Amino acid sequence: MKPTATRHNFRAASSSAIQNKRVQKAVRNTAGLLARMRATTVNTKPEFEELRNWGRNRKLLVSENLEKWVAQFKAQVEQQGGVVHRAKDAAEAGRIISEIARERGITAAVKSKSMTSEEVGLNDILQDAGITVTETDLGEFIVQLAGEHPSHILAPAIHRNQDDVRKLFTEKLGAPADLDVEGLVRFARKVLRHKFLEAGMGITGGNFAVADTGTVAIVTNEGNGRMCTTVPPVHVALVGIEKLIPSIKDLPDFLSLLTCSATGQRASSYISMTTGPRRTNETEGPEEFHVVLLDNGRSSIAASPWREMLHCLHCGSCLNHCPVYHAVGGHAYESSYPGPMGSVLSTLLWGKQSYPELANACTLCGRCVDVCAVKIPLANYHRTLRHQGGSNSQTSYLAARLASHPGAYRRGIHALRRMLRTQPLTKVLPKINKSVANWQSCRVLPVAGEEQPFRDWWHQHQPKGQAPKLKRVETKEVPSVPEDKKAGTADREELLALYRQRAGALGVEIVETSVAELSGLIGNLLKDESVSSVALPRAGWPQKLDERVAEILAGADCQTVSCEDETGWNMAALANAQLGITYSSAFLAETGSLIYPAGAGNGTLASLLPEVHLAISASSTLLSDLNAYFKNEAGPLPSRLTQIAGPSRTGDIEGTMTVGVHGPRRVIHWILSDLDTGQ
């Protein structure tokens, strides 16, 4: 929901939300699943704790001097041919983007998921300016069709189950009424494919804005982000100034922090790194690249004690672990930012007068702090907001007074227990005073039983003798992740085994083979997938591979679509190709992923639009991780650098993992042992 200056009533919204058991179940299922996925991966990453400290320190470096990093980023984007616009508030951001569209006669835009655009209310602003915006993330597409707003920063349709989505697609899009989750995803793919091809503008957010290269990096699993950044002729990235990070060398570790915290993935399916518009020798990508840097109160937050709130990576982990969010869902917060991070951020961005109660949308259990990617002290922030006055300050004051006087506390608890022998807690508390009655009215309280009180139990069981003294734990500044950890030290065979394991787990079909075997392998694949059209961008391939593949396909009964001349792709033909064959110039063991730099005639869209993607690599191009790739590549970054980890996927309908949303449902990787990259 776009926040407004009016007073939002969390008490009323949460009171009705908590009654909606269907939504509650849907939220708990998906948020619980995401939390378990995070735990599984983090438990296998002993360095993760150190990485969280590192992330916090790097973010502190930026937030203490935002303007310096903004200036560096702006200079770099402009040097690469992009345009940077500064927007002081939401209205200005909307006006800038509307004008970019209006001046170019653009009437249709596609958008990938961006909470910053929700904050701005961008869709409504563009709609008023006569520009149709289609949300392309499946979850966002569902909530847009339903006329709603996202209820989770990562899984926007978390509150809707598959029956809801089926009904919605049937009513609004005329979809058959018997589609299962996979059928619903396939149906959305078809509808949205047309929107991508027709749009004059692609709008994205930005997970990271890299100051020393002017790069905007976005992570998606479905591939809609890649579509938005590559297919339309104009790309606009709306990015909050807090998304800056100092260096491209920081990016791999921040990506790891983000994806592990969000979904437990070592890498999302797609990481799109955009550095300027398409260059003169490139055959795909947008002609214009605009970055709208949004302030909207962030500079003031950076100069305040709440500064760390700007470090948020929007991973959603705090939502997934929050008992309040599980109980009431996202819409009760009436903000584009729900959950623990949203309670604090909404209050800071729009003021306590707009969100007077969100500080109380917290049990202070601290789970959010334990799982926050960059250790934002969310519980302290909630506590401080309460101290500064909220609707329940009187209750908190009474509780604090009682707790700070042990004698009074003991007598009070004993009196309460006596009363509870004859009446339930829900009847007793309202009698204390009106403030306590209000506090109790929106909470589910445990039934007090006849069990022995803890204090009595402790008196009976505590060890005799002197109690041990508590020791203060020293905290110290944790340094950056050591270089050798980043680069990886395993030898080649170990790396290959790691790649097989990681990529295999993502569903990549790996074959280690040789150039001589290609003929049979390609023939079988064409037959298995009934391929009549192959997308084949051959520029930049090793000559031996290029000649061999061209020869094999010339003898096959299928047509090829390429992008080697300056007119680029025939998009309609590309969209109809069933198979894309690409040469991946590097592949990474740590994340099981493939690397694609944009280049002359090097059409990376062949890895995205067809249903099946066949990637071919030389075994010698295996690297440990993205850090190693950046170390290897000395020159400037290409306009687009893409990392691909497995097929296009989504869990946006009830957390059911489904492949082939916007990109391929199959990714096949042939690793050639006898291919010399210099050949």
Binding site for ligand SF4 (CB under 6 A): 261, 312-318, 341, 371-374, 376, 378
Shortest Cβ 366–ligand SF4 spacing (Å): 12
Q: Do the Cβ atoms of 147 and 23 come closer than 8 Å?
A: no
Shortest Cβ 254–ligand SF4 spacing (Å): 11
Distance of alpha carbon 620 from alpha carbon 535, whole angstroms: 25
Neighbours of 679 (CB within 10 A): 14
Shortest Cβ 656–ligand SF4 spacing (Å): 23
Backbone angles phi, psi at 397, to 5 degrees: -60, -45
Q: Do the Cβ atoms of 562 and 499 come closer than 8 Å?
A: no
- When the beta carbons of 85 and 382 are compared against ligand SF4, the nearer one is 382
Shortest Cβ 256–ligand SF4 spacing (Å): 13
Shortest Cβ 558–ligand SF4 spacing (Å): 46
Which of 199, 242, 190, 234 lies closest to 73 in space, CA to CA?
Answer: 242
State the Rg of the chain over Cα.
27
Sheet of 244-245: strand order equals: 244-245, 208-210, 215-220, 270-274, 640-644, 593-597, 586-588, 622-623
In the numeric block, which tokens belong to residue 554? 């010339």
Q: Is 671 helix (H, G, I), strand (E, B) or coil?
A: strand
- When the beta carbons of 380 and 393 are compared against ligand SF4, the nearer one is 380
Angle of helix 378-387 versus helix 339-350 axis, rounded to 10: 40
Shortest Cβ 653–ligand SF4 spacing (Å): 22
Which of 667, 671, 513, 504 lies closest to 592 in space, CA to CA?
Answer: 504
Shortest Cβ 660–ligand SF4 spacing (Å): 28
Q: What is the DSSP letter of 390?
A: -
Q: Using the structure block, give the residue that is written with the tokens 């009431």.
A: 328
Shortest Cβ 322–ligand SF4 spacing (Å): 9
- When the beta carbons of 133 and 318 are compared against ligand SF4, the nearer one is 318
Distance of alpha carbon 359 from alpha carbon 382, whole angstroms: 5
29 burial type by CB count under 10 A (0-12 exposed, 13-18 middle, 19+ buried) = middle
Shortest Cβ 479–ligand SF4 spacing (Å): 21
Q: Do the Cβ atoms of 627 and 487 come closer than 8 Å?
A: yes
Distances (CA, A) of 327 to 24, 467, 510: 6, 40, 43
- When the beta carbons of 131 and 374 are compared against ligand SF4, the nearer one is 374
Which of 640, 573, 3, 585 lies closest to 271 in space, CA to CA?
Answer: 640
- When the beta carbons of 82 and 339 are compared against ligand SF4, the nearer one is 339
- When the beta carbons of 158 and 373 are compared against ligand SF4, the nearer one is 373
Bridge partner list, 668 = 509, 614
- Identity of residue 124: D
- When the beta carbons of 228 and 368 are compared against ligand SF4, the nearer one is 368
Neighbours of 502 (CB within 10 A): 20
Shortest Cβ 306–ligand SF4 spacing (Å): 12
DSSP 3-state helix, strand, coil percentages of the chain (rounded to 5)? 45, 15, 40
Q: Do the Cβ atoms of 668 and 614 come closer than 8 Å?
A: yes
Q: Do the Cβ atoms of 540 and 602 come closer than 8 Å?
A: yes
Q: Which are the contacts of 80, defined by CB distance < 8 A and separation ≥ 6? A: 214, 275, 276, 277, 289, 639
- When the beta carbons of 369 and 645 are compared against ligand SF4, the nearer one is 369
- Indicate the helix (H) or strand (E) that contains 66: helix 66-79
- When the beta carbons of 315 and 436 are compared against ligand SF4, the nearer one is 315
Q: What is the DSSP letter of 426?
A: H
- When the beta carbons of 123 and 261 are compared against ligand SF4, the nearer one is 261
Q: Do the Cβ atoms of 101 and 302 come closer than 8 Å?
A: no
Give the alpha-carbon dihedral of 170, 176, 180, 186, to 10 degrees: -90
In the numeric block, which tokens belong to residue 329? 């869902």
- When the beta carbons of 374 and 637 are compared against ligand SF4, the nearer one is 374
Shortest Cβ 380–ligand SF4 spacing (Å): 12
- When the beta carbons of 70 and 376 are compared against ligand SF4, the nearer one is 376
- When the beta carbons of 378 and 667 are compared against ligand SF4, the nearer one is 378
- When the beta carbons of 264 and 597 are compared against ligand SF4, the nearer one is 264
- Identity of residue 604: T
Shortest Cβ 378–ligand SF4 spacing (Å): 6
Distance of alpha carbon 249 from alpha carbon 653, whole angstroms: 35
Distance of alpha carbon 218 from alpha carbon 113, whole angstroms: 10
Q: Do the Cβ atoms of 329 and 27 come closer than 8 Å?
A: yes
Distance of alpha carbon 591 from alpha carbon 252, whole angstroms: 10
Shortest Cβ 139–ligand SF4 spacing (Å): 16
Angle of helix 393-403 versus helix 406-420 axis, rounded to 10: 110
- When the beta carbons of 309 and 667 are compared against ligand SF4, the nearer one is 309
Shortest Cβ 7–ligand SF4 spacing (Å): 25
- When the beta carbons of 267 and 341 are compared against ligand SF4, the nearer one is 341
- When the beta carbons of 101 and 374 are compared against ligand SF4, the nearer one is 374
Alpha helices in 442-595 (DSSP H): 454-461, 483-487, 492-505, 518-528, 543-554, 571-576
Shortest Cβ 184–ligand SF4 spacing (Å): 28
